[in-house]
Amino acid sequence: MGAAPTYCALFSLLVATNLALSFHRATDDSCSEFHVDQTQCQPYLSLNGETTKPPLLVVSLDGFRSDYLGRLAETSKTNGLLRLARCGVKAASMIPVFPTVTLPNHYSIVTGLYPESHGIVAHEFYDPELGRNFSLPAAGFSFSDSNLLDPVWWIGEPIWYTIKRQGKKSAAFFWPGSYIDDSVRRPDYWLPYDGKVPFQQRISQVIDWLQLPQPKRPSFIGLYLEEPDGSGHNNGPLSPLVDEQIQNVDHQIELLLNSMSANGLLGCVDIIILSDHGMASVPLDENVVKLEDMVKDIRSSAYCFDCAEGLTPTLLPVDDSQRERDRIASNVECRNEDVRIYDKWDFPRRHHYADSRRISSLLFDLSIQWRVIVGTEDYLPGGHGWDNIYPDMAALFVAQGPSFRHDGATVDSFYNIELYNLMCLLADVEPAPNNGTWGALHHLLAKTPPELPDGKDFVAAYILDYPLNSQGQRVHYIDDQKRRRVCDLLSGNNDPRRNLGFNLTDSYAKQLVVLHVPWGLPGTNKSGVKVLVSSDFVIGFNVQDGIPSWVSYTVSKSIIESNDSLIPSWRADPRLRVSDVSICDRLKENPQSSSLLLAPLFFPRLSSSLRQSTDAWVETNAIEISPSFEKYWEDIEAMIVQLSANLPGRLNIFVGPVRDSPSPAIFLVVSYCPDPVELLACFENQLNVQSFILPTHLHYSRDCLSTERFLRSHLTTIRDVERASGFNLFQSLLNEAKVQLLRRTILASSLLVDPRPSPIQTFGSMTKSFRKNHAIRLGNPICFSYWIFGLFSVIFTAVLNNLNAAV
Ligand SMILES: [Zn+2]
């Protein structure tokens, strides 16, 4: 009973605070100071009698995890970010690039490039051509390091240079890459890094820049603040000290807004507040793998970069030969499913982390909170660098200003490489070539720009050109020459009766194309792609390279149960000339051909009848795989069968080989429409898509991963598939719908595999146990009445706020 009065007292206090806050908010919740009439901005924005675009201010709060915004809402002591978000727009989160560390991400944000293209691939790496190390070890990390000043490391075109090049002004306060020793590529206004400059001083400089008269005023200002990253590393993301720093930076934002308001700038400037990455707790003495225990001579045989803390380790053998890589990797592979070692070309393609000489030859894909060190370590309770698919690595995005929508909406997560195009649009300059997709963030804007210059990249190749006979049936190319040529691989019976399934009338073939390629034939600028149609699937076959480019099929609802006909018996395709298909030559030339298998792109088991399953065993449906990939491919077949059986709607599969990198792979796009009747009639917002690029010849850990882990590791975006295959997909969708689909992230769908890795202990789960232990007791009647009063005051606040919002 002794506790009851305490609770009651606490409640009275709560009620009083809530009421006080509600009145405080009643005045503060208005967005009127942001949503100013744009005619008021005209004097500020006018230049030579014309109204220019508002200046763009981008503030980076290092290490501000996306869910810190929720923690800020719980404390309510400062009112910066939440006020901005309420009167502007925010994202559920912003997805950083891999590795999820400071420099690569800050430079990706301002260039729109993946690290493999902008050169800052990590905090520690070696450039063999320069013969030099870029080195910012975690201990003694310094933004004044000479590496950060040397322009040779910084490739690509940051937004400030794009702007400068196009005759406008730009500014940056400590943004990584902005204070390099290159007066041409530096912003017009910049400062040499000095971490001791107080945040407030930085903010007053920004205000001064914003008040410069035209045309001296910068169109872009980048501002960098080091917190809450430092406190997250030193204390772990759950620490109250992080809460302090969240409030500290929020207070700085509040001061910035107040100062802008006092100077009549608020509502006339576009503001983006973002972060580079999130932060996760690092368990002490747990989940640490010591390379020394696996490879005895690792200290002398390889350079291990970022291996002090071990969150983003990479290995470069001293003798970087295939043999030496294999020796090192063979001692590490398959020991632990949470520590996956890769040849860099096999590394999950969604990271775009291979095509740079600065990327080490052996990479690790670590589960979150896992680390790889050499022997001894630098331990810190908080860290980041892991796969960007983990919610704890997710970053912040909040925007407000005349160009942004101002309904307080929360849009889906997006990738930070998309920002560069948007910032160029806001600054009214032409973007340099980059990895973003034009239009991907136009839904953040108050007015959608009318034109998408990047629209349809390709025209559709619709070729059904093999000749018809006088009855309108297809004439086969199969002839004696072809039968004689058939190599050992294609030993299947070429009894002409087996090919009857390919004898389709032209009109039926066209119907089948509509069924199996419901989003339109993939567009390409390649010539020589022929479309081969059969009842259960359609092949886009490249007769110049002699390989299938893609296979597309809508999974039949009546697939065959029997496995009788499924003994592989590959045969020549009667629809193509001998010279059109290269499979025999390819395998003859391949030194490893004895260890290769042929896999069907369309699974014969998915045929709608036993007779039609014979259509699937043609050379044009075959692709080489390594024996270890067979297990995964069979499991994927089983998953598709099961998925199709369990879902009411129709499933479409688009699959083909990827040959644009030294690591051959298969792309796989699974799309699903819940409408049980027709795929084509699918509303675009109902369309659910998941895509993968699966390495078929993994160097290491070939078959020791579970299929689920394998699939999850190799998830990609549709855009990645387009880039890797050279095809423009979903061509029948309107441009806007297509961009909507593209921007749906790999996190949005779970058709074949749940993209969300198993959760780690987060702040959310702590709050839950906290609530359980402090459950409110309603036993005491006096206390109960306080509780009811409290409830009413909360409702009253809500009503008041709504009224206020309506006004
Ligand atoms: Zn950072």
HEC per residue, 119-180? CCCCCEEEECCCCEEEECCCCCCCCCCHHHHCHHHCCCCCHHHHHHHCCCCEEEECCCCCCC
Give the 3-state secondary structure of residue 549: strand
Q: Is residue 7 part of a domain?
A: yes
Q: How far is CA 734 from CA 93, 422, 707, 739, in A?
A: 27, 21, 35, 9
Distance (angstroms) between ligand 1 centre and the Cα of 429 equals 28
Q: Which of 162-171, 568-577, 607-616 has the lowest mean pLDDT?
A: 568-577
Q: Are residues 365 and 506 in the same domain?
A: no
Bridge partners (DSSP) listed for residue 302: 317
How far does residue 621's CA lie from ligand 1's centre (Å)? Answer: 47
The answer, yes or no, to whether residue 432 has pLDDT greater than 60, is: yes
Q: Are residues 422 and 472 in the same domain?
A: no
Please give the full DSSP string across 73-100, using - where no structure is assigned: HHH-S--SHHHHHHHSEEES-EEPPSS-
d(CA 612, CA 536): 8
- Residue 14 CA to ligand 1 center (angstroms) comes to 37
Q: Is residue 467 part of a domain?
A: yes
Instruction: Give the pLDDT confidence of 549-585 residue by residue, as tens digits.
Output: 999 999 987 776 655 555 667 888 878 877 788 888 8
Helix runs in 701-780, H state only: 707-713, 718-725, 735-743, 763-773
Any domain includes 764: no
Q: Distance from the CA of 744 to the center of ligand 1, in angstroms? A: 25
Q: How far is the CA of 286 from the centre of ligand 1 (A)?
A: 24
Beta carbons of 548 and 657 less than 8 angstroms apart: yes
> What phi, psi does 53 have (nearest 5°)?
-70, 150
Same domain, 589 and 716: yes
For the purposes of burial, counting CB atoms within 10 Å of the CB of 55, is it exposed (0-12), middle (13-18) or buried (19 or more)?
A: buried
How many structural domains comprise the chain? 4
**pLDDT of the residue at 795:** 41
Q: Are residues 565 and 466 in the same domain?
A: yes
Rg (CA), the chain: 30
Say if residue 255 is in the same domain as residue 166.
yes
CA 260/CA 803 separation, integer angstroms: 27
How confident is the model over 779-791, as pLDDT tens digits?
333 333 333 333 3
**Is the per-residue pLDDT at 720 higher than 70?**
yes
* Ligand 1 geometric centre to CA of 745 (Å): 22
| CA 276 to ligand 1 centroid distance, Å | 5
Same domain, 352 and 422: no
Contact 357, 153 (CB under 8 A): no
pLDDT in tens, 259-311: 999 999 999 999 999 999 999 999 998 999 999 999 999 999 999 999 988 99
619 alpha carbon to ligand 1 midpoint, in Å? 51
Q: Do residues 475 and 329 share a domain?
A: no
Q: Using CA atoms, how far apart are residues 534 and 551, in angstroms rounded to an integer? A: 11
Share of the chain above pLDDT 70, in %: 81
**In-domain check, residue 718:** yes
Is residue 251 assigned to a domain?
Answer: yes
544 & 492 share domain: yes
CATH number of the CATH domain containing 562: 3.40.570.10
CATH of the domain at 435: 3.40.720.10
The burial class, CB within 10 Å (0-12 / 13-18 / 19+), for 545 is middle
> Of 78, 100, 102, 717, which one is the catalytic site residue?
102
Ligand 1 centroid to 236 CA: how many Å? 14
Spell out the alpha helix ranges (H) of 139-279.
146-149, 159-165, 199-210, 229-235, 240-262
Mean pLDDT over residues 74-85, rounded?
Answer: 88
Are 375 and 408 found together in one domain? no
* Shared domain check, 267 and 297: no
Quick check: is 355 in a domain? Answer: yes
Ligand 1 midpoint to CA 418 (Å)? 19
Can you say whether the dihedral through the CA atoms of 42, 47, 50, 52 is positive or negative? negative
Is the same domain home to 275 and 312?
no
- Containing domain of residue 698, as a range? 459-748
Is residue 102 among the annotated active site residues?
yes
d(CA 742, CA 325): 36
Q: How confident is the prediction for the chain on average, in pLDDT?
A: 83
Q: How many CB atoms lie within 10 A of CB 428?
A: 14
